[in-house]
Amino acid sequence: MIQYNISYTCHYKDYKKNINLIETEEFKSFTEEDKYYLEKKIYQDDLLSIFCFEKEEDFIDENVNKIIHDLYLKLEKYEKMKLLMQKINKEDPEMGLMIMFSMDFLYLAHPCFCEFLEKDFVSPDKFTLLEKEIKKFCLL
């Protein structure tokens, strides 16, 4: 069993939709840099939750790499995902998977991983969203 929270939803891209937050005077005074760091902090919290870590101290390379490796072993059996990982990094498709955990892609990749772990497939709409976002960043 992979230590991966398939019931978790990422929040780092959604915080700007939180009216209770964005309507505050404090948030209105945020610079773009402040907003980036807020999003980055929420992203980091999302990763902790996805990998089932309660404390930041548990988020070390050894622990994270094991989970990603275990996920890779499952995902490489799914041809579409295997090809996407290979397109991101031909020499090391597992590194391609790691790139999908970046701030640029996690909000789209995580739902794909969850669906695959739960149902052994990824719906075309979810997969296409991830693939399109990766193409925007010229990785394909």
Domain ranges of the chain: 15-136
More confident of the two residues 139 and 47 = 47
Task: State pLDDT tens for residues 98-123.
Answer: 999 999 999 999 999 999 999 999 99
Distance CA 45, CA 39 (A): 10
Instruction: Please give the share of the chain, as a percent, with pLDDT higher than 90.
Output: 83
CB 131 within 8 A of CB 84: yes
Task: State pLDDT tens for residues 27-47.
Answer: 999 999 999 999 999 999 999
Is 23's pLDDT higher than 60?
yes
Q: What is the DSSP string of 48-113?
A: HHHTT-SSGGG--HHHHHHHHHHHHHHHTTSHHHHHHHHHH-SS-HHHHHHHHTSTTTHHHHHHHH
The predicted model scores a pTM of: 0.91
